[in-house]
Structure 1
Amino acid sequence: MNRKVFVWVMVFFLVAFSSCKQRQDNVDNPQVAYLAAYMKGDDDKHMYYALAENGFIFRVLNDKKPVLAASYDDQLLRDPMIIRDRSGIYHLVATVSWKNHPFTVWDSKDLINWENERLVDVAPEGATKTWAPEFAYDEENDIYFVHWTAELNDDWNTAAIYYATTKDFINYSKPKVLYSLDGTGILDANIIKVGDTYHLIYRNNGIWVATSAHAQGPYTNPYELTSENVEGPFAFSFYDGSGYAVVWDYFGRSSGFGLWTSPDFKDWTRITNESYPYYNDKVEFPEKIRHGSIISITQKEKEALLNTYGRK
């Protein structure tokens, strides 16, 4: 066996082993609850946690106090998004400034101790604003990427979704355009894979969805999910495998999240009320919750969070 073939064989087995280990971890440590990480309408310098142990009744942790603050730049911690990588490490990315380019990134093994806070500057040339970063995983190429909204030359109509790939959440490729409408500004993208299809959800005078067979696009065939004046959409899968949910931010007066669910990402059911107050006996989010993310967690993680932060 020549060296080149040997290397590719080793890569194949390492990827296969990692996938099998992750599947086994999911079997041995099933998800049992949802954790929301978010900013508040009257506080964009801190991250807050809320936990839903059953269904979608989210209760604030840490006696309503924040769990994390930023140290760099304008010290904002807007639009926090958490992803768990294939090795089990969590990574947090957030908007840190309205006027400067970088984002902030942290790492954590337990969702409690966040470390390695750092600035990541991957803004395209001419960018005057960058915001709402999120991480996504490209399964086909076994690589992660950060995507965000960038505006060029203070012109809202240039706002598009850019991205840069990374293997280690430290070093990044040069930025490329992931999705744009060529002359119409868009923002707040979120990506979820459903079956063999990637769905890119974004705001453009309502919430829209474009699809692709590849994580890095091209994304095409956009359709409107809702015409409501909302922003910050975030989609996640149910930990029991029964379907998907998408939340978005009723940013006017920081009035809360909307929640829709679907078994297949095609047919949707509104769970929150159509008008304010949005919450009912099926769903409740914390007061003044704004642009954040929701992940599923294990029993061990839930108990650690409750032991550390307690309930409301």
Structure 2
Amino acid sequence: MKALSIAFTLLVAFNSFTIASPVRTVDKRQNSQLVGYLGAFFLGNEPYVYFDLSNGNNALSFSPLNRGGPILIPTSGTGGIRDPSLISGGGGESGRKWYIIGTDLHIGKTDWDTAQRHGSLSIFVWESTDLVNWSQERLVKVENDNAGMVWAPDAIWDEEAGQYMVHWSSRFFAGNDPNHAGTRSASMIRYAYTSDFRTFSEPKTYIDPSPLSVIDLAFIHMGGNSYARFLKNEASNPSVYMERSDNGLFGTWTRPGGPNAYIREGVEGPYAYRDNLDPNKTYLLVDYYGADGYRPLQSTNLNSQNSWVDADRSSFPQLRRHGSVISITQDRYDALQAKWR
């Protein structure tokens, strides 16, 4: 009986540790129902939404869906989407709703200066109840007219607010410069709240390190009030770096390793996701925009910039650009295979 009592105590302790393990806000990691991953990306010269489905629960092995063709091709705005972000429903929409949001930009039809002065102030939005059938896209304006563009929108469910916090990068021009012909501001991170990706609150500034520019913000929820966030600075030696907060999305953020520490140089579009099976492993995709696109990194310590190491990319799809990855359940996995393979 004493042996049984000890075994029961150990079992309770193990289960408590498992429940307390870090989780991402919307993916409910360490959930036995999670059997794989779905990735959404764009290609450099093909700004449409492409899907890759993992080969089982291997977080680094994916196969293209739809024979490698696009899943979603926008017909409004510029006709091109960059930086697609898959958003799993939060709150009452958890497990019942998914969104794709992205940048309204087809760079083949413009140039980078024009795109930052007279770019779209709206984001693309698609929604789905099964990850297979998607609504017609809509363009939703999220920024005011002093902005020159809205780039790389992403979202995280804010438990405290009970809404989605949507964030993006923008540059601004003086109010007496309606043609945006003068000096533009540094690029900063802006945000707004929404419950339905149709109506948004007034945009506010979230991160403004002027005169330094920052773009491509992505979060990962570590459980409780702890978060990590990843950004790209636009300095003379652009790099992606990580910051940590243990008191919420609007808490105190610190940069492990100090103000000059970074994860990689010459990359952008960071996106982090958790391993469904290993509670200690996190993956970070970084876009080598001057080379072959996304390459995966991995870490077991989100308190150090130096902990990120190159992951096995032998089965990771090549030429993917700034996108996202979410965890999925068996029914979603089977439905995606049935539809697109």
Q: Same fold (TM over 0.5)?
A: yes
Equivalent positions of 1:188-203 (< 5 A) are 188-195=216-223, 196-203=225-232
Q: 2-side partners of 1:200 and 1:243: how far apart?
A: 16
Q: CA deviation at 1:80?
A: 0.3
More off after superposition, 187-196 vs 217-226? 217-226
CA distance change for structure 1 residues 173 and 131 in 2, over 3 Å: closer, same or farther? Answer: same
Could you list the per-position Cα deviations for residues 238-283 of structure 1 after superposition, in whole angstroms to 9, with x for gaps in the alignment? 2223432111111113x0322222234235341337xxxxx33xxx
Match of 1:248 in 2: 286
Counterpart residue type for residue 40 of structure 2: A
Q: Secondary structure at the match of 1:103?
A: strand
Kindly indicate whether residue 251 of structure 2 is the aligned counterpart of residue 221 of structure 1: no
Q: Percent identity?
A: 29
Kindly indicate whether residue 153 of structure 2 is the aligned counterpart of residue 138 of structure 1: no
Q: CA deviation at 1:222?
A: 2.7
Could you list the per-position Cα deviations for residues 128-166 of structure 1 after superposition, in whole angstroms to 9, with x for gaps in the alignment? 121100011111222211100001136565200000001
Counterpart residue type for residue 258 of structure 1: R
Match of 2:12 in 1: none
- Superposed CA RMSD in Å reads 2.4
Larger radius of gyration: 2
Q: CA deviation at 1:185?
A: 0.7
Match of 1:78 in 2: 82
Counterpart residue type for residue 101 of structure 2: V
CA distance change for structure 1 residues 28 and 148 in 2, over 3 Å: closer, same or farther? Answer: closer
Kindly indicate whether residue 48 of structure 2 is the aligned counterpart of residue 51 of structure 1: no
Counterpart residue type for residue 41 of structure 1: G
Counterpart residue type for residue 306 of structure 1: Q
Q: CA deviation at 1:116?
A: 4.8
Counterpart residue type for residue 237 of structure 1: R
* Equivalent in 168, 192, 205 of residue 148 of structure 1: 168
Q: CA deviation at 1:26?
A: 8.4
Q: 1-side partners of 2:77 and 2:209: how far apart?
A: 31
Kindly indicate whether residue 337 of structure 2 is the aligned counterpart of residue 306 of structure 1: yes
Match of 2:272 in 1: 235
User: Structure 2: 5+ residue runs without aligned partners?
Assistant: 1-24, 106-114, 174-179
Q: 1-side partners of 2:70 and 2:205: how far apart?
A: 34
Match of 2:68 in 1: 64
Q: 1-side partners of 2:29 and 2:229: how far apart?
A: 25
Q: 1-side partners of 2:162 and 2:136: how far apart?
A: 23
Could you list the per-position Cα deviations for residues 1-56 of structure 1 after superposition, in whole angstroms to 9, with x for gaps in the alignment? xxxxxxxxxxxxxxxxxxxxx99x98997111111100001211x11011122421
Could you list the per-position Cα deviations for residues 198-257 of structure 1 after superposition, in whole angstroms to 9, with x for gaps in the alignment? 22210012111223345542453234342421000001112223432111111113x032
Match of 1:31 in 2: 34
Q: Secondary structure at the match of 2:201?
A: coil
Q: CA deviation at 1:300?
A: 1.2
Q: Secondary structure at the match of 1:68?
A: coil
Could you list the per-position Cα deviations for residues 90-115 of structure 1 after superposition, in whole angstroms to 9, with x for gaps in the alignment? 01101113422111111101111111
Residue pair 1:156, 1:185 contacting (<8 A) in 2 also: no
Counterpart residue type for residue 110 of structure 1: D
Counterpart residue type for residue 40 of structure 1: L
Counterpart residue type for residue 62 of structure 1: N
Q: 2-side partners of 1:266 and 1:245: how far apart?
A: 14
Match of 2:242 in 1: 209
User: Which structure features the higher share of strand residues?
Assistant: 1
* Equivalent in 167, 175, 191 of residue 203 of structure 2: 175
Pairs aligned (count):
278
Q: 2-side partners of 1:136 and 1:122: how far apart?
A: 16
Residue pair 1:70, 1:96 contacting (<8 A) in 2 also: no
Residue pair 1:179, 1:218 contacting (<8 A) in 2 also: no
